[in-house]
């Protein structure tokens, strides 16, 4: 084991990660530590052995699949704190990487800060939100993102990244690509507004507001409705292990789409700019007969085939194998390659 440093955060040996991943699969971390400040990170990585060690940064563990024990250092982000500054209609909100995402959304909703309400109830931490540019119900993180503070593991440098530098895309950012494994996000700054510009056109939001006879919704109404729809559609990880959408919705060219549509006229799709088309991965999987199927302790969710679940004692590699079978079937039937959204470790 690398030598300890006096002011270093405490390092624990052989820690079970079962309660730290929403799939609820068993895996052991060779070493485990929790980070409560940027100084903790500086102290930890002042030690060359830890800089060189295999590492896994962990937030809420809601977007990863552990397929085996982790023979390295797991770094759980626990930097807390939420603050805000209102300037006219503009609001700047800052939050530590270790804050729970939904708590931040609730802080904003309760204070009348608009912009995040459609992102209610997404599991996980604030620090992970830029990693895959989280999104739901027609809103993405990038729509409210101002900047984030980023710690460079090798040099100990801390830099601010503005939105343009983060190269946000659909479930993508620079942190998942060029900077993967090299940096740790310590806090995130958001730009919100006291004047709501509600986005209620997506999914069943409008319908649910109507059902509730809400003609002039506020941000709290939208947040409540989004939370309600999510709870009714997605399995709760505290009872059935899962990581939300397991695959990304594939984006293909219009030409490829036309070929698929000529054979499957009902193909669920959304036209995007640049002659591309986004397909609904859940629909493709369902057409291959996978919806609600159970194999041993794993399977796909009965209401949404895009969500792979752990019914109790599945191992990460069983879930992974299931995902490979699904990828193969979708490729054979539609010629489309599904890409995993979940980070496989």
Ligand X SMILES: Cc1cc2nc3c(=O)[nH]c(=O)nc-3n(C[C@H](O)[C@H](O)[C@H](O)COP(=O)(O)OP(=O)(O)OC[C@H]3O[C@@H](n4cnc5c(N)ncnc54)[C@H](O)[C@@H]3O)c2cc1C
Which region, judged by CB under 6 A, interacts with ligand X, from 52-60, 154-162, 198-206, 215-223? 52-60
300 binds ligand X (CB under 6 A): no
CB of 86 to ligand X, least distance (A): 26
78 binds ligand X (CB under 6 A): no
Burial 81-106 (b: 16+ CB within 10 A, else e): ebeeeeeeeebbbbbbbbbbbbebbb
**Residue 196: Cβ-neighbour burial (10 angstroms; 0-12, 13-18, 19+):** middle
Residues whose CB falls within 8 Å of the CB of residue 52, separated by 6 or more in sequence, listed in order: none
CB of 89 to ligand X, least distance (A): 27
Residues whose CB falls within 8 Å of the CB of residue 2, separated by 6 or more in sequence, listed in order: 47, 49, 50, 53
Active-site residue (options: 120, 147, 243, 245): 245
225 binds ligand X (CB under 6 A): no
29 binds ligand X (CB under 6 A): no
Token pair for 142: 């990038």
Token pair for 131: 């990693």
Question: What is the distance between the alpha carbons of residues 178 and 181, in angstroms, rounded to a whole number?
Answer: 9
Active-site residue (options: 171, 173, 230, 323): 171
Contact (Cβ atoms closer than 8 angstroms) between residue 99 and residue 128? no
**Contact characters 81-110, ligand X, x per CB under 6 A:** ----------------x-------------
Active site residue 341: yes
315 binds ligand X (CB under 6 A): no
127 binds ligand X (CB under 6 A): yes
Q: Which of 11, 15, 32, 60 binds ligand X (CB under 6 A)?
A: 60
Question: What is the distance between the alpha carbons of residues 117 and 152, in angstroms, rounded to a whole number?
Answer: 31
Token pair for 167: 């190269």
Active site residue 167: no
Question: What is the distance between the alpha carbons of residues 72 and 79, in angstroms, rounded to a whole number?
Answer: 21
237 binds ligand X (CB under 6 A): yes
Q: Which of 24, 96, 115, 123 binds ligand X (CB under 6 A)?
A: 123
Side-chain-side CA neighbours of 270 within 13 Å: the count stands at: 11
125 binds ligand X (CB under 6 A): yes
Q: Which of residues 164-203 bind ligand X (CB under 6 A)?
A: 184-185
CB of 183 to ligand X, least distance (A): 6
Contact (Cβ atoms closer than 8 angstroms) between residue 219 and residue 114? yes
282 binds ligand X (CB under 6 A): no
CB of 338 to ligand X, least distance (A): 16
Give the DSSP letter of residue 202: S
Nearer to ligand X, 61 or 217 (CB): 61
Size of the site for ligand X (CB under 6 A): 32
Residues that bind ligand X (CB under 6 A): 22, 56-64, 77, 97, 122-125, 127-129, 131-132, 134-136, 184-185, 234, 237, 242-244, 343
Positions marked catalytic: 171, 245, 341
């Amino acid at each position: 084991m690398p030598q300890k440093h006096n002011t270093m955060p405490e390092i624990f040996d052989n820690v079970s990660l079962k309660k730290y991943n929403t799939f609820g699969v068993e895996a052991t971390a060779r070493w485990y530590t929790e980070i409560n400040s940027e100084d903790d990170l500086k102290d930890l990585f002042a030690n060359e052995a830890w800089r060189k060690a295999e590492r896994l940064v962990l937030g809420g563990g809601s977007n990863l699949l552990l397929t085996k024990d982790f023979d390295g250092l797991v770094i759980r982000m626990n930097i807390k704190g939420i603050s805000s500054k209102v300037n006219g209609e503009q609001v700047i909100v800052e939050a530590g990487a270790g804050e729970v995402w939904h708590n931040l959304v609730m802080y904003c909703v309760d204070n009348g800060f608009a912009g995040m309400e459609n992102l209610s109830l997404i599991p996980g931490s604030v620090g992970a939100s830029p990693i895959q540019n989280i999104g739901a119900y027609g809103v993405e993180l990038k729509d409210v993102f101002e900047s984030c503070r980023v710690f460079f593991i090798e040099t100990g440098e801390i830099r601010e990244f503005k939105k343009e530098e983060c190269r946000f895309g659909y479930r993508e950012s620079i942190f998942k690509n060029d900077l993967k494994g090299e940096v740790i996000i310590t806090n995130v700054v958001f730009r919100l507004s006291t004047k709501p510009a509600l986005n209620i056109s997506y999914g069943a939001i409008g319908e649910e507001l109507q059902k509730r006879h809400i003609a002039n919704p506020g941000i709290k109404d939208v947040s409540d409705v989004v939370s309600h729809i999510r709870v009714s559609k997605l399995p709760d990880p505290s009872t059935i292990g899962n990581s939300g959408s397991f695959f990304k919705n594939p984006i293909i060219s219009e030409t490829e789409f036309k070929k698929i549509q000529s054979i499957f006229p009902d193909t669920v799709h959304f036209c995007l700019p640049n002659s591309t088309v986004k397909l609904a991965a859940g629909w493709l999987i369902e057409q291959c007969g996978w919806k609600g199927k159970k194999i041993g302790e794993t399977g796909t969710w009965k209401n949404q085939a895009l969500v792979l679940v752990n019914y109790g004692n599945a191992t990460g590699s069983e879930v992974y194998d299931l995902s490979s079978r699904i990828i193969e079937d979708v490729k054979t039937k539609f010629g489309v390659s599904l890409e995993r959204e979940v980070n496989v470790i």
